[in-house]
Amino acid sequence: MAGHELLDQLLALPERERLAELRLLSPSEQAELSHHWELWARRDQLPPPGDWRTWLVMAGRGFGKTRAGAEWVRAQAQRHADARIALVGASLGEVRAVMVEGESGLLSICPPDRSPQFEPSLRRLIWANGAQATLYSAQEPESLRGPQHSHAWCDELAKWDNTSGRAARAWDNLQMGLRLGELPRALVTTTPRAVPLLRRLHDAAGGDIVVTRGSTEANADNLPARFIRDVRREYGGSALGRQELDGELTAEIAGALWTRALLEAVREPAASSPAVRTVIGVDPPASSGGDACGIVVCALGQDGVARVLADCSVEKASPEKWARAVARAAEVWNADRVVAEANQGGAMVGSVLRAAALSLPLKLVHAAQGKVARAEPVAALYEAGRVRHCGQFPVLEDELCGLVVGGKYEGPGRSPDRADALVWGMTELVLKQRAAPKVWPSLC
């Protein structure tokens, strides 16, 4: 190992100078120091001071959250031979693939002579000093009822399945069992999404809950410059970019027809009822270089609930390209009908779609109201619990949350193309006007 004198000298330097000095060392010297995390870590990747109970690291993609989490767990296991650590993720597969065996997971970052033994069948890691870590899935909240822990690392909490409040129950059961040792603690590492559980922790910050925020660029020295440039060009300035790159917990827009909490409440991992009718809503762009072509797949289940199954929208596409995307979606999802707005392009919309697939079941509709007015009855279906989202649709959901009652569109992009496509699909499935009842003249 490197001499203690060099180690002490490097630790005494300010963060920027220390990292610069480390890069000047020879490969062999760097290898000797590679497992001294406090040397290589940025300040925002190290535990905050104080007697906190929960450390919430809420940051953008590529920030280094997983490495920070794994190194914190390694430090607790080395310091506390009696440590009993819970490793909790969205699923057992993700816990193993990311938190344990991943590039920045526990088996990769531990020194070879101090690496824990992994027992997959028992979902357990054991260090030589006796410290243990157990793998848990947030999809199984009851598995956390009963076991006791001294520490916990919860990864990508914003991805935990919230169906029927499952995510909150998993967190609450974990907290009830976090009672071993003198100072039980939990670390949460996540890219933010405005889900109820993350909002609950964020809003309670202060005292026992300490929050660390950070962006993708904070880890620029360890990320390809092209990656940062490309994602900034594609998503910079959008709500999705603020969430996924800047680590910002998106606030609700006053007066919005949809809220993040509402969308999380209607989410399910997959359709829980077979479809009896499938419709694809299409909002064609005015030009090939302008807005996206909204293409959203909606289905009505046997249980009477409408579901969003897929967002197949395409950006900056020529008429031929977006028409092929519609035809492909209709074939993949076995659609009964395609509903396309014909305000922009009129009969051309139908011609382009029929040219892409001659057998395409097609209905052209004309908008007599503005986008927000058309969306209000569909939003009411969500409030009534008559719609579900099967999976996550970040850009579509950003657009829904940007539709404001009596106001202008305040979501990403110039126009809510995906949201409008969803509205057309849901209107056809659930709100299609039925024929008015006939009143027969009296025969008297």
Pick the more confident residue, 356 or 137: 137
| 258 and 252 Cβ atoms separated by less than 8 Å | no
Instruction: Please tell me whether residue 109 adopts helix, strand or coil conformation.
Output: helix
Q: Per the structure, how many domains does the chain have?
A: 2
Same domain, 70 and 113: yes
| Residues 294, 364 within the same domain | yes
Q: Is position 255 within any domain?
A: no
DSSP string, 162-227: -GGGHHHHHHHHHHHHB--SSS-EEEEEE-----HHHHHHHHT-BTTEEEEEE-GGGGGGGS-HHH
Q: Which residue has the higher pLDDT, 7 or 79?
A: 79
Are residue 329 and residue 220 in the same domain, yes or no?
no
Question: Is residue 230 located within the same domain as residue 274?
Answer: no
Does residue 14 have a pLDDT over 50?
yes
Q: Look at residue 379 and tell me if it is in a domain.
A: yes
Dist CA 285 CA 320 (whole Å): 12
438 within a domain of the structure (yes/no): no
Cα–Cα separations (whole angstroms), residue 178 to 165, 279, 396: 20, 48, 38
Q: 189: which 2 tokens?
A: 């590492």
Beta-strand relationship, 117-119 and 124-126 = antiparallel
Read off the CATH number of the domain in which 421 is found: 3.30.420.240
Are 173 and 218 found together in one domain?
A: yes
> Which residues lie closer than 8 Å to 275 by C-beta, 6 or more apart?
299, 300, 301, 302, 307, 309
Residue 55 counted as domain residue: yes
Question: pLDDT tens digits for 166-175?
Answer: 899 999 999 9
Q: Which of 364, 344, 343, 369 is nearest to 353 (CA)?
A: 364
| Domain contains 335 | yes
pLDDT tens readout for residues 242-276:
888 889 887 778 889 999 889 988 999 899 999 99
* SS3 category, 312: coil
Last residue of a domain, one of 184, 216, 244: 244
Kindly state whether residues 291 and 400 are assigned to the same domain.
Answer: yes
Identify the domain boundary among 195, 214, 244: 244
- Are 209 and 54 contacting, i.e. CB atoms less than 8 angstroms apart? yes
| Pick from 27-31, 59-63, 159-163, 211-215: least confident | 27-31
Whether 253 is in a domain gets the answer: no
429: DSSP letter: I
Residue 252 lies in a domain: no
Are 290 and 425 contained in the same domain?
yes
Note down the domain range covering 325: 260-431
Cα–Cα distance, 243 to 63 (Å, whole number): 13
- Shared domain for 295 and 236, answered yes or no, is no
Residue where the block lists tokens 């707005």: 341
Q: Which of 103-117, 177-191, 333-347 has the lowest mean pLDDT?
A: 333-347
Residue 435 pLDDT greater than 50, yes or no: no
Does one domain contain both 156 and 44?
Answer: yes
Domain boundary, last residue among 181, 215, 244: 244
The answer to whether residues 201 and 297 belong to one domain is no
The CATH number linked to 24 is 3.40.50.300
Least confident of 58-62, 141-145, 190-194, 431-435: 431-435
- Residue in this structure with the two tokens 């490969």, named with its chain if needed: 27
Q: Are residues 334 and 189 in the same domain?
A: no
Residue 310 lies in a domain: yes
288-308 pLDDT, tens per residue?
Answer: 666 789 999 999 999 999 999
Quote the longest CA-to-CA distance of the chain.
111
Complete edge-to-edge strand list for the sheet that includes strand 362-365: 267-268, 387-390, 306-311, 294-301, 275-283, 337-341, 362-365
Residues 321 and 389 in one domain: yes
Task: Tell me what pLDDT residue 213 has.
Answer: 94
- Alpha-carbon distance 263 to 432, whole Å? 23
Q: State in Å, rounded, how far the first CA of the chain is from the last one.
A: 108
Long-range contacts, stretch 317-324, CB < 8 angstroms, 24+ apart: 317/285, 317/288, 317/292, 317/293, 318/288, 319/284, 319/288, 319/348, 319/352, 320/352, 320/355, 320/356, 321/288, 322/284, 322/285, 322/293, 322/295, 323/352, 323/353, 323/355, 323/356, 324/356
In b/e form, how buried is each residue of 33-59, taking b as 16+ CB within 10 angstroms?
Answer: bebbbebbbbebbbbeeeebebbbbbb
- The residues facing 115 across adjacent strands are none
User: Residue 246: left (phi > 0), alpha (psi -120 to 50), or beta?
Assistant: alpha
